[in-house]
Amino acid sequence: MKSKIIFIILFISFAMTMCSKDRGCGNTIRYENIPQTYLKNVPYVGGEILTFLHVNTGDTVRFNGEPNWTGYSNSTFDKSDCHFETKHQGRGIAYVHADKKIVINQRNTNNYVATFEVDFENEYFITGDFSDNRIFDYDSIIIANRLYYNVFRFNIDASFPPTNYFIYCNSKYGILKFELASGETWELINNK
């Protein structure tokens, strides 16, 4: 008889637990900040002046940096009694000259990889992994008669076949060179 009573009590406890409104994950919010190792590889803080040489024309163009911004984008997962929200940190800055603009964004993605994205002359460069873990494409390279070390070269996207336009950058100076689809080349000559 005692075993039946214990069984009934356990069954009722189990049934009440299963019917409880607190079952599931409830409302959960998680913040995914850009890791420091990624932040330090993008040297822009806002207010800098970037001067590029338009190699095709010989023109020098000065881009004035605006203040940077930081914010969060959301991704959510909902299932009956479970709401899970992840807030991914992002930061960005714009460099402006008359009718031209360089927009730089850095953000954490759903894949826990901080990407470095650049929009220039209607072309959108996505760098993917721009961290200490990535192997440099060039140990050293000369751009605009200046020697740079530890340089990454990224395609504009991950399409196949790959595109033939690129962005060159490193963690000390940021963007060093653009090779655009139009055949134009822009090279950094000063970063203040």
Domain positions in the chain: 26-191
Q: Which residues contact 51 (CB under 8 A, 6 or more apart)?
A: 60, 61, 62, 63, 188, 189, 190, 191
User: Tell me, what's the pLDDT at 37?
Assistant: 72
Among 156, 133, 136, which Cα is nearest to 148's?
136
Tens digit of pLDDT per residue, the chain (192 long)? 555 555 445 445 544 444 444 455 667 777 777 777 777 778 888 889 999 999 999 999 999 998 888 887 777 666 666 777 778 788 888 889 988 888 888 777 665 566 777 888 877 777 665 555 566 788 899 999 999 998 988 875 555 555 678 889 888 898 999 998 888 999 999 887
What's residue 63's pLDDT?
93
Residue type, 70: T
Beta bridge partners of 95: 65, 102
Residue with tokens 């200046």, as numbered in its chain: 146
Count the Cβ atoms, other than its own, within 10 Å of residue 124: 12
| Numbers of helices and strands, H then E, in the chain | 2, 13
Q: Give dist(CA 123, CA 46) in Å, integer.
A: 22
